[in-house]
Structure 1
């Protein structure tokens, strides 16, 4: 008897900014369907779909969840009770607060130096320790409330206070000149193995603003060195060790290779990173095959 085709929900939202469309989902749906799967987009905050109907839900572009964090966490609870979810919900909950960087640093990962500030005094001391600093909250997305400042700029402390007074924790990091010059690399991994690298260019302008006044990525395919590829796999092994969960199905590992600190982790995104499959088309089938394996089916031959 032929096994029924797996039914896979690709978790999205219902509206995207013109400057930040979801390029990945149409490509993934096409590849999954070519492999015999029943695959469809599912708007995370809609009640239209019965989540128990799916063999697997894969979070891809629910990019409005930071504006509805409590609702998103409740949805994640419902999804976990209904069926299998990728990435693991416990891993995603851990990843929502950038204090996870401290966990990874404790596990031996080289991380950009970070002070976690819960008071004005903490923030003042952290800012004074450097010539230029990046200030941001531990819980955020899309560079919201994130700024690059001279340490003498009163706006640096003002932003930290805004974050702390709002009930958050302010992260203070030294400026990394290579990062300000646009040398950040987003390194992608599927099932813990490197697939492709993307450069996004610099985002932060000195003085607390975004370059061009709006969050705008300009992804382009770049090469990754052997050490960067190994670094990705080391980071994701540390993630699995720290969380106690299985290896993430998908991950974006943001890095910069700096003169002062060496190759360091800036962020590991395990909730809803754009995979930029329109730029790295050779990774489309790799992702689709991994999704089918996660759904408990061997990948069928496309075509």
Structure 2
């Protein structure tokens, strides 16, 4: 059997759950996308990305949606990605995925005029200690995280009083992967972070994510809350201009923005691989994504 498009997840989320709201939300959001594609007459299948029994040449395209274990299995994922890109079309493309996987992409966006959070990259194999790095930068309070990561994996809030507690784990991490250090952004705690969804280059909807009391991580994995949000025209323009600065136009994107310590709108992250897109709060946006995919398939 052949398919127009396969919607990718990871095997933890293949089935719905009546007892686990998190798993249900994942399943339901993918369902909304699949339903929207089916309504357009497209033949679809939802599948775990690492399904070894599936012939990837039997589908015209694949849509990365909830492949939320890729960063924990990156070497395996990278080989798989190279393999399937030879036999089918990827949304978003392999070029965009590989560019976006590594947070060094922030430097490319900065060169194209996108205001990003102040960031210091620490390359794999560096022998500088955390305390030496902080002293050289003059930063007192920071956030440390890997350049390839997700779901706040190995994300730590640091200050001059607790650096010694993290030197060992940092030493282990930097021997295996590049890291990034950013000044702690106080406005995120007070105001939250805005996620702007952009499909086919145009803004569709937004949500405001807030950390729970006493935390700095806005992800709902860590108790963060999500709220409906009406962005300003300037925020919409910021998001759409960020997409224009990408190496290619992505079919979907999530642009995370916040107010930095200087009071300016800044890019926190640009998600082009498997971002949560909040279809359950804005169901019609799934139809907008599906229409864009249909047009892309016609152009193949």
For the aligned pair, the TM-score class normalised by the smaller chain equals 0.7 to 0.9
Matched, 1:147 2:144: no
Offset, 1:213:
11
Match of 2:38 in 1: 33
Structure 2: stretches of 5+ with no match in the other structure: none
1:131 aligned to which of 123, 126, 140: 140
1:262 maps to 2:277: no
Are residues 217 and 294 of structure 1, via their aligned partners in 2, closer, same or farther at CA, if it must alter by over 3 Å?
farther
Contact 2:218 2:224 in 1 (8 A): no
Aligned CA distance change for structure 1 residues 214 and 36 (closer, same or farther; 3 Å): closer
Written as runs of structure 1 = structure 2, the 5 A alignment for 1:112-131 is 112-118=117-123, 119-121=126-128, 123-128=130-135, 129-131=138-140
Structure 1 CA distance, aligned partners of 2:154 and 2:116? 21
Give the superposition deviation at 1:239: 1.1
Query: Which residue of structure 2 lines up, in the alignment, with residue 79 of structure 1?
Result: 84
- Residue 120 of structure 1 and its aligned partner are, at CA, apart by 4.7
Alpha-carbon distance, 1:69 to partner:
0.9
> Which residue of 2 is the match for residue 291 of structure 1?
293
**Superposition deviation, residue 159 in structure 1:** 4.7
In 2, distance between residues paired with 1:178 and 1:80?
A: 40
Instruction: Output the CA distance in 2 between the equivalents of 1:210 and 1:200.
Output: 9
> How far 1:296 moved relative to its partner?
1.5
Query: 1:190 and 1:180, CA in 2 relative to 1: closer, same or farther beyond 3 A?
Result: same
Residue 295 of structure 1 aligns to a residue in which SS? helix
Aligned to 1:301: none
SS of the equivalent of 1:20 reads helix
Task: Tell me if the contact between 1:147 and 1:204 (Cα under 8 Å) persists in the aligned partners.
Answer: no
1:105 alignment counterpart:
110
Which residue in the other structure is 2:280 paired with?
A: 278
User: What's the CA shift for 1:56?
Assistant: 1.4
Structure 1 residues 67 and 34: CA distance shift in structure 2, 3 A: same
Distance 1:57 1:87, change over 3 A: same
Other structure's SS at 1:81 match: coil
Is residue 24 of structure 2 the alignment partner of residue 13 of structure 1? Answer: no
What CA distance in whole angstroms lies between the structure 2 residues aligned with 1:27 and 1:197? 17
Report the counterpart of residue 207 of structure 2 in structure 1: 198
3-state secondary structure, aligned to 1:196 = strand
In the alignment, which residue of structure 2 is the partner of 1:224?
A: 231
Q: Which runs of 5+ in 1 are unaligned?
A: 241-245, 299-303
Instruction: Answer yes or no: is the 8 Å Cα contact 2:129–2:167 preserved in 1.
Output: no
Shifted more, 153-162 versus 131-140: the winner is 153-162
After TM superposition, give the deviation of residue 66 of structure 1 in Å: 1.5
CA deviations over 1:18-44 (Å, ceiling 9, x no partner) = 453313210011111111111110211
Asked if the contact 1:148/1:204 (under 8 Å) is kept, the reply is no
Instruction: Tell me the CA shift for residue 121 of structure 1.
Output: 2.6
Instruction: Using the TM superposition, give the Cα deviation of residue 188 of structure 1 relative to its aligned residue in structure 2, in angstroms.
Output: 0.8
**Which has the higher mean CA deviation after the structures are superposed, 122-131 or 182-191?**
122-131
Secondary structure in 2 aligned to 1:116? strand
User: Partners in 1 of 2:67 and 2:212 — Cα distance?
Assistant: 22
Contact conserved, 1:136 with 1:170, CA < 8 A, in 2? yes
Rounded to whole Å, the distance in 2 between the matches of 1:149 and 1:62 is 30
Supply the distance in 2 between the matched residues of 1:205 and 1:39 (Cα, whole angstroms).
Answer: 43
How far has the Cα of 1:72 moved from its partner?
0.9
Q: In the TM superposition, what is the alpha-carbon distance from 1:106 to its structure 2 partner?
A: 1.9
Aligned residue for 1:160?
170
